[in-house]
Structure 1
């Protein structure tokens, strides 16, 4: 498939701030791209994007999410510094000294940095001993503010979103480094699949839908908007890389079980067979701390088979890393699974 297109779409999606609950711009971008490819996407009531790629029989839904981790202002402190509450599994340790954008609900966008409280090493003798939490860190605004009233005069209030820089880099050796590869990398791959189908008039083995969800990081992304005729759901999300697992950033991971329990045995087996049929490098793993969109669908009562795949991603929920080969192997598996 067109890797240049895939990586271009990845960069575009990563450049759009979209923590859970603040995803309209990302969804609108997807609608524009799918429309330009010749499809008829729709925005769901929850704000996700749904699109039929065509085909007939045994309907399959491929899911990826474009919501990310982020923050929201919880308190404006008397000194003009800001305390945030995390959205999703954001960790303060992974955000310290990271630049961010504060989206005022009514008065524009401001920049700042998340810092440890009293962050100057030459002043703070216990700097290295302090536990990093969202109570011990604060956003320092790039504005001359000295009080809560100064901050509010800018139009910044509790409930405003705080979005962190993705810092996207693709190295000459093929490594893809960025915040929020979970799961914009998979969203870019599904766009590449959609482009392949249109550009080359590919035939689908079955009816295929795409569903780009927008509340996955807070647990209910795919709890709704499943088509009534769907028989199978596959979440295309990040594959885990770490101790005790066999997947690397250069492979496609097929998940057999995560914290929500085992995935459908027949679907997992069919995914392995599809990977083997095209020589895609893959690993089958059990993820110890993970939950996916398709599990939200099952918990909502949908009677469907479910599976989970994704390119290997290291340092999940931090500054994440994958590799172009992992993307290629995931696309090979998707092509083998849905296209003649």
Structure 2
């Protein structure tokens, strides 16, 4: 599996390097579609902007979808302040507590991209005696532009306006010990895993028993990514998303997580059982967990009225929606579970 693992990490880093806060995902979607096409698959970008890929397989009336998402958290300019700095509104569940002091890129509609830093108002601890006591929130945080501006008018002259997208630096790093650290591993790590699985199927010349699609959605972080474009004949859908790591849960970054239940309720009993059986038979390092605060694309697919069996797996990811961390072991276990379960 090593060549496919190397490819997964390469593609994960490539996708992470493309800014794609939810609502601003066209560049990432085009890249992913192009990589599937390089592997020899037909990839379609839907009207909504997602990527739908035909993987192949025999039984068309009992098809399966594997879904991941390439949209991430981010921000949007909601106000240009009198001092020229920017007040933001979050895109998705971006939390200002763990985004403080992060570098950002402001994507204007017509005048290019500018850089800045997301800071607390009056961020100098030598000046602000309330620095330590201030609760970080969107109403007391701002983007300080890396431009010579001192007024709202100065910033507007740059072409920056309300509604512009603000992208946070992912700071991707893979350590010698195999840890993968970056913002937005949720869910670009799984996009890499699905590309690696597609490469594995193609190069090993494997024909699946059931027809398969890969579906890379673009609005998961705001709750409607998987609500449309499910092909006819699909009876099962599995979200390949991040596995939760934290207090009270079993999963570590070295494992593949199988979710039995999230905030929306239990996953399909037979699918969860089948995933566990495949993991046990292959002697994979896995955990089964109940996620306390979580929703996935397949939850949304069910809510949209599609009649499917549903499941959720993913490589264990620590510090979700912050500066996240996983490990090559978790990636490999996730890939091997897909190979074993879907064959």
| TM-score using structure 2 length | 0.98
Question: What residue in structure 1 maps to residue 297 of structure 2?
Answer: 293
For residue 205 of structure 1, report the CA deviation from its aligned partner.
Answer: 2.6
- Secondary structure class of the residue paired with 2:200: helix
Matched, 1:71 2:99: no
Partner of 2:252: 248
8 Å CA contact 2:58–2:207 kept in 1: the answer is: no
Q: How far did 1:276 drift?
A: 1.1
1:274 to 2:278 alignment: yes
| CA distance, structure 1, for counterparts of residue 278 and residue 69 of structure 2 | 23
2:338 is aligned with 1:334: yes
1:219 aligns with 2:214: no
What secondary structure sits across from 1:59 in the alignment?
strand
TM-superposed deviation, 1:277: 1.6
Deviation digits for residues 218-251 of structure 1, max 9, x if unmatched?
0000000111210001000000000110000000
Once residues 70 and 126 of structure 1 are traced to their aligned partners in structure 2, the CA distance between those partners, rounded to angstroms, is 27
Look up the match of 1:155: 159
User: Which residue of 125, 132, 151 corresponds with 2:136?
Assistant: 132
* 1-structure distance, mates of 2:88, 2:171: 21
Query: Shift in Å at residue 203 of structure 1?
Result: 2.3
Secondary structure at the counterpart of residue 191 of structure 2: helix
Match of 2:95 among 91, 108, 115: 91
Deviation at 1:59, TM superposition (A): 0.3
1:280 Cα deviation after fit = 1.1
Query: Out of 24, 30, 33, which is 1:31 matched to?
Result: 33
SS in 2 for 1:135: helix
Structure 1 residue 338, shift from structure 2 partner: 1.5
Q: d(CA) in 2 for partners of 1:321 and 1:196?
A: 25
CA distance in 1 between counterparts of 2:195 and 2:276 reads 23
Following the alignment from structure 2 to structure 1, what is the Cα–Cα distance between the partners of residues 143 and 55? 43
Alignment of 1:6 with 2:11, yes or no, is: no
Question: What is the CA–CA distance in structure 1 between the aligned matches of 2:174 and 2:19, rounded to whole Å?
Answer: 19
Helix, strand or coil: the match of 1:231? strand
In structure 1, the residue matched to 2:199 is 195
Q: 2 CA distance for matches of 1:267 and 1:117? A: 49
CA distance in 1, matches of 2:6, 2:254: 17
- 70-79 vs 201-210, which deviates more? 201-210
Quote the Cα distance in structure 2 between the aligned partners of 1:83 and 1:178: 25
* Pairing partner for 1:54 from 47, 53, 56: 56
CA displacement 1:40-63 (0-9 Å, x = unmatched): 100011100001110022200000
**Structure 1 counterpart of 2:177:** 173
The number of equivalent residue pairs is 339
Q: Does 1:107 align with 2:111?
A: yes
Query: How far has the Cα of 1:321 moved from its partner?
Result: 0.3
Partner SS, residue 283 of structure 2: coil
SS across alignment from 1:20: coil
